[in-house]
Amino acid sequence: MASQPFKPTKALEVSGIFKKGHFKFGMRSNAHGSPGQEVHDGDTVGLNTTANFSSRFLGIDAPEISFTIRTESTFVPIGDAKWVAFWTSGEWKNMPLQPELLDHLVARIGDGSQVAANHRVLADAARNELIRLIEGDMQASGKDKEAFWFFLAFGYEFLDQYGRMLCYLHPERANFTPPAAPDPRSYNERMLQSGAVAPYFIFPNLQPFLAEQPFDAQNLTPAGFWKTINDASKLQDARQRVADARNAGQGIFAPQNGLILLPYEIRFIARKGSKGPDRYVINLGNSGSNQIVKPELYFTIGNLEDRLFIPKEFVPLFLLNGWVVA
């Protein structure tokens, strides 16, 4: 019996500690090139794929459409009855959280009866807002779904733990028919402005919000770090747009039906084996400070746009350059 041809569903994926890709030879006109055509030199080969890519927007965190629940191996829709039971039963408390953080979450969650429905409504709203923005750009460009292109800009890291490309997503400017012109801002920035998503700035993936190499010496000492941050006009603009959305009570900041739990709170509470948050935080609203906040105290930084998360593996670099953990 002949074996079935290999056909991956994803071009990029993560398996354990390994990031993997599935590609063919690059294209020449309408056909794949030969080894002689696609091997440029001893360490470069032209590649092409027809498998799907997935992306994850940098700098923002949208309410979850679905996620795993502790013992579930599959993603469960966020409004499912299983989520309602998870929050109302108090099962979510069965993890080693610091008392201050547990008290904070208890105050937010209450009896748990509203968490699932609240998150589902705002997750749907964020999804619909992004669809609206993309469809508006398609209409402005005069291109249908077969001809519309995206432009991706990457931060320091390229893939996340799910094999998604970490990016700032834009409509491809060259694909617009004059006199139409695309919004110069990324979808990331426009989603922040709408209030449909939360900011989620994570070092070192700050480009292009931050037009500097994150590991240059001047960006790691407190003095150099704050100069770079304060001079980063795109980052400051993004933070201001979040503040404006909050002050206007838009989206997740609505005074009556705002987001009860942030997306990353849902994830660290519900993820199997989680011991709580593990990213340290710098308060961008406390310019000049040399303090790094412990992961379990992230909530003490009140404004979401002031939280710059630092993965624990990078904290020693900051400590060597004059920072201290508060």
Q: How confident is the model at residue 66 (pLDDT cuts 50, 70, 90)?
A: very high
Per-residue pLDDT for 1 more than 70? no
Tens digit of pLDDT for each residue in 16-46? Answer: 877 788 888 999 988 999 889 999 887 888 9
Q: How confident is the model at residue 187 (pLDDT cuts 50, 70, 90)?
A: very high
pLDDT at 2: 59
Q: Is the dihedral of CA 253, 258, 259, 260 positive or negative?
A: positive
Residues 39 and 47: beta-carbon distance below 8 Å? no
Look up residue 324 and give its two tokens.
Answer: 């201290």
Tens digit of pLDDT for each residue in 68-89? Answer: 999 778 999 999 999 999 999 9
Q: What is the pTM of this model?
A: 0.91
Lowest mean pLDDT among 20-29, 189-198, 272-281, 305-314: 20-29
Residue whose C-alpha is closest to residue 64's, from 74, 77, 81: 77
For range 160-185, the mean pLDDT:
89
Say what angle helices 81-88 and 115-141 make with each other, to 10 degrees: 140
Please name the residues in contact with 302: beta carbons below 8 A apart, sequence gap of 6 or more: none
Query: What backbone phi and psi angles, to 5 degrees, belong to 166?
Result: -85, 120
Which residues on neighbouring strands pair with residue 171, listed in sequence order? 150
